[in-house]
């Protein structure tokens, strides 16, 4: 039986995106092709942990939880058994969200929502690890894969933006606007594009929301909340 290396699994409410607040089982696959400098799940990327877990065990565990399941990482699309797991979960009646950076295609993968978080240039760890930074920079955006995901699944695009200084926010928005133009997304899809201010506590997030709100109004992008941080803080398993 196929397996996936799982770093953690837990039941909580969705903290981000269009389904914020929906009770969901989270299954976090260990392993990532990127090394974001601010990665909030380093135990599935920089220092991957976890045990190989049979897909049948994962399906059984999800069956005991909410209808909504979120397959996240790390980067679940890197691992071909994710396709078989996605098929089994949807056949069992689950609503399945895939959380991905959108850099790789996974053949046969099924999803009700492809939650894509393309990485902007501020994610690249130049000072922390120049060698990995070069690898990250080469891999962090793949327009062909992004376009294929968007044309194949229901989707949302989530962008982490820096809001501590206006120049940083403007630089990030310029990258987002360029990517949105290159993907040729229709104007009426703008509310599927979320600006997610950086922050790991109530105070910094509130400041980030206020800094980003005018850009959301001007472009019709959605303001991306982080409910799990407001509820539980910056805590694994939430
Ligand atoms: S893509 Fe996600 S899991 Fe991978 S390094 Fe970046 S934030 Fe971490």
pLDDT given at position 1: 67
How many angstroms does the Cα of residue 229 sit away from the middle of ligand 1? 17
User: 194 in ligand 1 pocket by Cβ < 6 Å?
Assistant: no
Q: Is 72 annotated as a binding residue?
A: yes
Q: Are 2 and 87 in contact (CB under 8 A)?
A: no
User: 73 in ligand 1 pocket by Cβ < 6 Å?
Assistant: yes
Q: Is 31 annotated as a binding residue?
A: no
- List the pLDDT tens digit at each of the 238 positions of the chain: 699 999 999 999 999 999 999 999 999 999 999 999 999 999 999 999 999 999 999 999 999 999 999 999 999 999 999 999 999 999 999 999 999 999 999 999 999 999 999 999 999 999 999 999 999 999 999 999 999 999 999 999 999 999 999 999 999 999 999 999 999 998 899 999 999 999 889 999 999 999 999 999 999 999 999 999 999 988 888 8
Give the nearest ligand 1 atom to 33 CA.
Answer: 4
Of all protein residues, whose CA lies closest to atom 2 belonging to ligand 1? 74
Backbone angles phi, psi at 29, to 5 degrees: -80, 140
pLDDT given at position 185: 92
How many angstroms does the Cα of residue 123 sit away from the middle of ligand 1? 9
The strand ranges marked E within 42-154 are 51-54, 68-72, 95-100, 113-116
User: 34 in ligand 1 pocket by Cβ < 6 Å?
Assistant: yes
Candidate of 48, 75, 78 to mutate for ligand 1, largest count of ligand atoms within 8 Å of Cβ: 75
- End-to-end alpha-carbon separation of the chain, Å? 29
Give the nearest ligand 1 atom to 42 CA.
Answer: 8
Candidate of 41, 43, 72 to mutate for ligand 1, largest count of ligand atoms within 8 Å of Cβ: 41
Which helix (H) or strand (E) element contains residue 206?
helix 202-219
Query: How far is the C-alpha of 61 from the C-alpha of 186, rounded, in Å?
Result: 39
How many angstroms does the Cα of residue 11 sit away from the middle of ligand 1? 21
Q: Are 68 and 95 in contact (CB under 8 A)?
A: yes
Of all protein residues, whose CA lies closest to atom 8 belonging to ligand 1? 39
How many angstroms does the Cα of residue 42 sit away from the middle of ligand 1? 8
Query: How far is the C-alpha of 220 from the C-alpha of 175, rounded, in Å?
Result: 16
pLDDT given at position 200: 87
Domains of the chain (ranges plus CATH)? Answer: 3-232 (3.20.20.70)
User: 45 in ligand 1 pocket by Cβ < 6 Å?
Assistant: yes
Q: Are 199 and 208 in contact (CB under 8 A)?
A: yes
């Amino acid at each position: 039986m196929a397996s996936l290396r799982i770093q953690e699994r837990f039941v909580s409410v969705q903290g981000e995106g269009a389904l914020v607040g929906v009770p969901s089982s989270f299954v976090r696959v260990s392993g990532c092709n990127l090394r974001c400098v601010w990665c909030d799940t380093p135990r599935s990327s920089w220092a991957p942990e976890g045990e190989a877990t049979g897909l049948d065990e994962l399906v059984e565990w999800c069956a005991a939880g909410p209808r909504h399941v979120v397959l996240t990482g790390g980067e679940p699309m890197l691992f071909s058994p994710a396709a078989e797991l996605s098929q089994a979960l949807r056949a069992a009646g689950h609503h399945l969200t895939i959380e991905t950076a959108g850099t790789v295609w996974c053949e046969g993968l099924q999803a009700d929502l492809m939650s894509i978080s393309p990485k902007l240039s501020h994610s690249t760890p130049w000072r922390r690890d120049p060698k990995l930074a070069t690898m990250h920079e080469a891999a962090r955006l793949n327009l062909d894969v992004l376009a294929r995901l968007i044309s194949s699944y229901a989707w949302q695009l989530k962008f982490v933006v820096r809001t501590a200084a206006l120049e940083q926010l403007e630089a990030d928005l310029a990258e987002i606007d360029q990517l949105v133009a290159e993907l040729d997304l229709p104007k009426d899809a703008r509310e599927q594009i979320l600006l997610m201010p950086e922050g790991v506590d109530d105070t910094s997030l509130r400041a980030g929301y206020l800094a980003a709100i005018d850009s959301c109004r001007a472009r019709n992008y959605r303001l991306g909340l982080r409910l799990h941080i407001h509820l539980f803080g910056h805590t694994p398993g939430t």
